[in-house]
Structure 1
């Protein structure tokens, strides 16, 4: 992206983007653009939708009921979507928000909440909020692909359906019982295969869940070291290991 574009605010939209066209924002996005981002008519910004690339745009009309945006030029070509899945036991609100944002920043393409025996879920999991957090992270970090946020599934159902839903994909899971060290070697052995990462809840996987995971031929246990990590910290640590050894940070 040209250097002068990097200082522009970024806004994710759902509609198709075509140079020379105009689009009218809905009321919530108009409010965000004019009152939160404090933009006005004539200001430039970057629009993206996760499909067509990033576009230089200008606010043609700043009416509070629905701002109109004119698309000027394609600023950056669309990048390929990530095939990395991040599967996780949901956390309490603020830490879940953080985890979704960091997973997006780390290049995850799919987010899947997994309910385990020790999952501490207070109330109903807010799917829309996870989507909003992923979008916010993409807007702030110049990411063109917003992860797909899937509906929650139990660990038992995930493993039962694995071969049908995720054929040939390896499931790397953070195993507190694995010996420290050796994670890089384990990852290099599957470097040419699609991968998903699974991080359990604060209390870890139950003994029965761990035995079930270890019994599956598609599961790859890795250690995150000798320290006890919070689940949101473990997410960043594990994703860093994957991306630096077999992902896009190599």
Structure 2
């Protein structure tokens, strides 16, 4: 069932069930009352990443809080997409964009990775999560991706489960075409690794290429910024071996 884009969607932390009463947070309450100017009885959609999507009605409007009465289940909860997105954190504005696009493109896990040229070693996880939630609200997504703590690249690779293929974007690949490498992948469990603005170091690239569960792909003849590379790589993966191709 497709999302209803005509109604306002809100992510809430509360458990959702018929006849439950929940309270919108202060920012949501301000938006509903002072921006959208919704009156009591107005309908919205609420989801929490666990219990599906529900219709709800504004049951009370206070000075600082809006209460919502949960009504009917609109869409059941889907599982998280089985795609791990590993990325070197960027400076804040570009990182916000990259996280939002990864959520929109079907990432089920967001894994920050610290490489030699990473610009931000300790990204703010609360801000990353807020961007993931915002993308989910705007795009009708119910399964909000899992956000993991940042790991150094060598530690991530040392603990990698070998049944999941890790695709990494290699700016020094000998070809411009990513399709042959992707179409040769047999595994259904997939992950994508996008490096920092400065690219992977020679040592990191050699380490990745030496691992049997890693596939290196190029991203065409042009030099792409890291956030652009993320969107391009996610699109080509989903279209060739990801969930776009499986639903064809």
> Offset at 1:181?
4.0
> Offset at 1:36?
4.6
The CA distance in 2 between the partners of 1:52 and 1:168, in whole Å, is: 30
Secondary structure at the aligned position of 1:202 is classed as: coil
Conservation of the 8 A alpha-carbon contact between 1:180 and 1:224: no
Matching residue of 1:79? 78
TM-score with structure 1 setting the length: 0.92
The CA distance in 1 between the partners of 2:196 and 2:124, in whole Å, is: 17
TM-score with structure 2 setting the length: 0.92
Q: How does 1:149-168 map to 2 (within 5 A)?
A: 149-162=147-160, 166-168=161-163
Which ranges in structure 1 are unaligned for 5 or more consecutive residues? none
The CA distance in 2 between the partners of 1:44 and 1:138, in whole Å, is: 19
Conservation of the 8 A alpha-carbon contact between 2:81 and 2:107: yes
Establish whether residue 16 from structure 1 lines up as the match of residue 15 from structure 2.
Answer: yes
> Offset at 1:37?
4.4
Aligned residues: 245
The CA distance in 2 between the partners of 1:31 and 1:92, in whole Å, is: 29
The CA distance in 1 between the partners of 2:38 and 2:151, in whole Å, is: 41
Q: How does 1:39-188 map to 2 (within 5 A)?
A: 39-121=38-120, 124-162=122-160, 166-188=161-183
Secondary structure at the aligned position of 1:249 is classed as: helix
For residues 162-181 of structure 1, the C-alpha deviation after alignment (integer angstroms, 9 at most, x for no partner) is 1xxx3411110000111234
Conservation of the 8 A alpha-carbon contact between 2:122 and 2:150: no
RMSD: 1.8
Pick aligned residue for 2:216 from 215, 221, 228? 221
Which ranges in structure 2 are unaligned for 5 or more consecutive residues? none
The CA distance in 2 between the partners of 1:56 and 1:70, in whole Å, is: 9
